[in-house]
Structure 1
């Protein structure tokens, strides 16, 4: 949504000031409404942008490899499968980001400054810097979470949502599925949602983020 605005080229300080001003929550609410009304269509477009070579099953395996073992820039995402998984390094938190996204900056600031996560615990992946591989990853994230915006934050391999939004609402039904805001429900075999999460900011405010970071 922010791609076509002057904010894209603004310095990081200006983006942070915007996101933390009274305008930030207003735009976040508009984006949440956009997700509610256009979510299915946006996911279709994201998958379409991934190209004809996008393989949903293989790409999901690659997403899991990255969440469990970290992204190796020397490897090609499109050629690595789950048989290549190792336990050499297991990042606690993976943050998928757009370089020009104000809420991505807020998420990085929270995790790096407030919780002092370093490169041993936190991996930040700028999707736009990965070209077509980044489009494959974004498609896999959307299909596994129903979300189309960034940041996309995963803790211990599960998506907690973005900075201001997650999956849980007061209207969640007894099954834990979100009944408002997400018309797209991931297939059970690829579902990576932490359905009780309301997003990073909410988890931080309730103290649940610290608890999640301490879990093994």
Structure 2
């Protein structure tokens, strides 16, 4: 994460946490469009404080914000690097495979905000978990949105993952992404349906 905003003495603590939240959602081009409700949830700021912080970040040239009728604003974090992230598709292309750079760019530009929005609609009771880890996994995975839709559909079919266990645990997005392969492959988690083991895993900081 760029440190320019974090060391800018003209910015308040609220401004900096707003900047961090936008960085979490931004794709490799620095673009994101989280709703105000989402930003307030991540930052803990009131509507007025959030508006002030966004204005301050724009004033300092750290972000730009473009209002869009009937939907969330489009933000651009100016300091996000645009260097491409290597994926299997890009590596295949470099080796003479059939993958193209256009396909690579399309996959990479699946933003964290878009995936979280899909997740919240599909599994509204689960929560995000470790937001920083979620952003890192999504940005590095190279999966298209259809893959995430499939994952969340598979999760919804597994009562154990959706609160039907003796601890009433709804496993958060950070955990589900780490266990995605076994979930999509139709397998239960390594410790089967033992919520006691799940609770111990959570207490140890696993989620």
Structure 2-normalised TM-score? 0.26
Q: Larger % of helix: which?
A: 2
Name the larger-Rg structure: 2
Structure with the bigger RCO (C-alpha within 8 Å, sep 6+) is 1
Structure 1-normalised TM-score? 0.25
